[in-house]
Structure 1
């Protein structure tokens, strides 16, 4: 009824228990004095009240008119919060709350199904509430001039959005700059993928020109499937390890050259597709992924693991990498019976090894770098096809037990005598015709087995043993 008092110029409602003034107060257009002291009024908000009766009447009038027009403009009112009553206005089509001091919006937009325009530019918003997704009629969204480090993914859930205003000059973390430069459609496709992934637990960002994985993606800890095929990624960031729920990771046809050790944190990973990259060395940390059943490395020019290990399949690859990884911790490496044709290139770098077995393979040559394994105490190289030992074998001065049985050795290098810690040496079933005289330097030798060779004599120096 107060709306009928259009001639009223003064109104005092002081010292009552009012929580809100009636919307119809907006019809009192000549009201010049309004006393509301000693109440607990939240509608209109305190910042409007502080600006005087004219602003109060104007604020209430705009809300009152919006019930008929479907348009509510509350821009420039210094608002710090959005009154819940706004969400009770039926049929609202346009809502403008730009140029205020809003730090957040209530998560109550599920009632605004007819909203076609929403402007919240020039506030202090960090994001948008999830319920914005219910505004399926929204065509125009203005969020520029806020404090958003990333565009809200919920914008991607708006099927009719045709006009999207945001601050393009600032450095957004997400979407990446190259997607923003491609315009509204790619932006909304990207945001839609991010938004939908929270429901489907799968994210597909294929052929988007990504040079890095967006930070927002790396916060989706519940993600189970991630497809980043056909981008221009050169590496995966260490915090890829934060996606501990990930079961499938596909990054084919990128430019990746290495993988971070943190990938070992993806303990749920069952499938890792790295085809079409440039990864020469697969990190041993992958050996910790006990659930991994598919590891695809085609066209990656991998040199480690060796091609014969790769050809044997994922189970063998993961087991090989696990053995290498654990050897860095316990100093023991067993690479026996893996059908290897050569000693993997990274082995000489494992300076902490005290025991190593490469028995039961098909190794023909040993690299001179084997001499770098200066901590080795036990070395098994039996049951291979080794035809010669490099002179650097003599640098293994701490080896006390050496097995070379069932190979193709015809001679031993003279430097063999430098292995002064040798206590047990077995070289049976080879093609030896002679032993080097330096063998007499092996003063600690207690066991020597050279059966089934073609020796015609033993060196005189053997008498010093």
Structure 2
């Protein structure tokens, strides 16, 4: 009932599905019941009729059961082989381990609709036939200690009831991605194989992580690679790249919650990536080759160990969202000015001491978060971000803009910064109608301004909060509700701390 089919891979032709298993003769039924009651016989080569000492069947043309490799061994091997097949009809378990089998016996398929456990370990197998898909009820499959180099995808597609699969100590380099469909697996042993697509760290994470990894790589054919929370390191990422069927089609990559310290250059093949997420890792720096992702729009690197941002970030003008919060960044590079399409920038929970004026070139920026840094002031150039709608900088020792301006929200802050910027460039500082309680200290650094308007505020005094103004080479005029105040100039040899004072003759 079984024929060997020629071709690159061994296959068997079996009886049509649903034809049933041949019925045992009545006497064999009684024997089967007796063996089931007694739990089987002990000792190889024994039968219920005594101990068989010699078995010959020379002159038969086509003996296929037991297989030739079993017949070449001593008699107990053949008897154990036949007895295992006999017992499997009522135990639903077939144990053919350590019989030097070269291929899966075709008799196994006669038990296809009832077999639950199959042990083919410690043999000389190199693969399984495609028709193994007929063992759809199988729950246990042990193939360890063989010479298997590959397994058919049908194992993952059809043997979905498997709970225990052991393929350790073989010669496999790749697993069919269809194995990711084996959701019921509780024990999946794959160690001691020369894997080319699975890192040892992934193997060590256990069955669930391994199945998730295979499923993630399999789903990458749809353009999404999700390897979140798989304890993958930088070394493991090189195996991810090898496992991906077609890297050029992936547009969304999620590597959150792993232990990645650097992104290997081998991932530069993901040229179609639009979104890259590497949150909650141990990333120390962004790779200089990142601009090869010329379609990248979303880059998320929150909660890592970044201390700086590489200058090459400016070579990715397609960026729309950039999250670098919860790192150790102290400054951002001037090349940020090239990110003209950026709409969201998160820099909160870093160590920023000042914000680069290049931020003013981000005309499309709508959201900027700077919470929990070490900022003391915002650059006036931030007023050039005309699309900004959300601005947050809580948890900083901000002196500029003043608190009364901050309470007016982002619109009030941007209006204040715009006036500072105008005074910086036009030498005419219009700080009227801002509800100020004190003269802003930052104007004391603008030694070139010639006019300062503080009308309609709530000034309590004219002392800048801090620090005192630097020494000036010429008189300055300050308009305060129609009255004039001026710097008092000291001779160079008598320079000392200067302050504001009212002239003797205001006219």
After TM superposition, the score normalised by the length of structure 2 is 0.49
Alignment: residue pair count:
362
**CA–CA distance in 1 between the matches of 2:480 and 2:381?**
31
**What SS does the aligned partner of 2:399 have?**
strand
**What SS does the aligned partner of 1:404 have?**
helix
Counting only pairs closer than 5 Å after superposition, residues 167-178 of structure 1 correspond to structure 2 as 174-175=216-217
Q: List gaps (5 residues or longer) in structure 1.
A: 1-7, 30-42, 159-171, 182-186, 188-193, 307-316, 359-366, 375-379, 443-447
**CA–CA distance in 1 between the matches of 2:136 and 2:182?**
10
Tell me if structure 1 keeps the 8 A contact 2:161–2:182.
yes
Q: Deviations over 1:9-60 (max 9, x none)?
A: 537593799599976456658xxxxxxxxxxxxx78xxx968527x67xx46
- Residue 412 of structure 1 is matched in structure 2 by 452
Tell me if structure 2 keeps the 8 A contact 1:331–1:353.
yes
1:329 aligns with 2:372: yes
CA separation of 1:418/1:371 partners in 2, compared to 1, >3 Å: closer, same or farther? Answer: farther
**What SS does the aligned partner of 2:455 have?**
helix
1:288 aligns with 2:328: yes
Structure 1 residue 415 displacement after superposition: 2.1
Q: Deviations over 1:150-184 (max 9, x none)?
A: xx9999848xxxxxxxxxxxxx9623757259xxx
**What SS does the aligned partner of 1:243 have?**
coil
In angstroms, what is the RMSD of aligned CA positions?
Answer: 6.3
- Residue 108 of structure 1 is matched in structure 2 by 144
- Residue 190 of structure 1 is matched in structure 2 by none
- Residue 429 of structure 1 is matched in structure 2 by 472
Tell me if structure 1 keeps the 8 A contact 2:320–2:343.
yes
Structure 1 residue 289 displacement after superposition: 4.1
- Residue 76 of structure 1 is matched in structure 2 by 112
What is the aligned counterpart of 1:52 among 77, 84, 90? Answer: 90
**CA–CA distance in 1 between the matches of 2:126 and 2:473?**
92
**CA–CA distance in 1 between the matches of 2:459 and 2:483?**
11
Q: List gaps (5 residues or longer) in structure 2.
A: 1-26, 46-75, 198-213, 226-231, 346-350, 360-367, 402-409, 491-500
Tell me if structure 1 keeps the 8 A contact 2:306–2:327.
no
**What SS does the aligned partner of 1:241 have?**
coil
1:230 aligns with 2:266: no
**What SS does the aligned partner of 1:328 have?**
coil
- Residue 255 of structure 1 is matched in structure 2 by 296
**CA–CA distance in 2 between the matches of 1:19 and 1:295?**
82
CA separation of 1:344/1:435 partners in 2, compared to 1, >3 Å: closer, same or farther? Answer: same
Structure 1 residue 122 displacement after superposition: 3.0
1:300 aligns with 2:339: yes
1:179 aligns with 2:221: yes
Tell me if structure 2 keeps the 8 A contact 1:264–1:285.
yes
Q: Deviations over 1:318-354 (max 9, x none)?
A: 7646999997337751579xxx977674797547765
Structure 1 residue 394 displacement after superposition: 3.5
Tell me if structure 2 keeps the 8 A contact 1:267–1:289.
yes
After TM superposition, the score normalised by the length of structure 1 is 0.52
CA separation of 1:263/1:19 partners in 2, compared to 1, >3 Å: closer, same or farther? Answer: farther
Tell me if structure 2 keeps the 8 A contact 1:156–1:195.
no
Structure 1 residue 211 displacement after superposition: 2.8
**CA–CA distance in 2 between the matches of 1:117 and 1:344?**
61
**CA–CA distance in 2 between the matches of 1:433 and 1:88?**
95
